[in-house]
Amino acid sequence: MATAHDVLRTLSQQQPPALFVSELAARISSPLEPALAELEAARAVLVLAHEAPDRHLEGLDLRVVAAAPEGDEARAVEAAEAVWSRWLREFLATHRCE
């Protein structure tokens, strides 16, 4: 099972310190949800859910998890939104809905 330490270490290696939950899970290679719940309760990370920008993506896990150093929610929101915005720009630039 992923530990809180594994999650925080992996996020700290990112710039900004945030990843999609699915990317984080792939890098840790073990069940992630218990560690995320523990870290959220301790205000060490923030998990932001996003709506699918296209009907073909409905049902996908589009949550972004970001480190909240010293409980700094504003920095976590900024990091999570940077990751989401970059992904969304790339998606919209290449996706053509049929």
* C-beta of residue 66 within 8 angstroms of C-beta of residue 79: yes
Give the per-residue pLDDT at 6. Answer: 94
When mean pLDDT is compared over 17-21, 29-33, 85-89, the highest value belongs to 17-21
**pLDDT band, residue 98 (cuts 50/70/90):** low
**pLDDT band, residue 90 (cuts 50/70/90):** confident
Note the pLDDT tens digit of each residue in 23-41.
999 999 778 999 999 999 9
Q: Does the pLDDT at position 65 exceed 90?
A: yes
Secondary structure element (H or E) that encloses residue 41, with its range: helix 33-41
**pLDDT band, residue 79 (cuts 50/70/90):** very high
pTM of structure: 0.86
- The domains located in the chain, with CATH, are 4-94 (1.10.10)
Residue type, 12: S
* Contact partners, residue 28, CB within 8 Å, separation at least 6: 2, 6, 7, 10
Q: How far is CA 13 from CA 10, 16, 26, 46, in A?
A: 5, 9, 15, 16
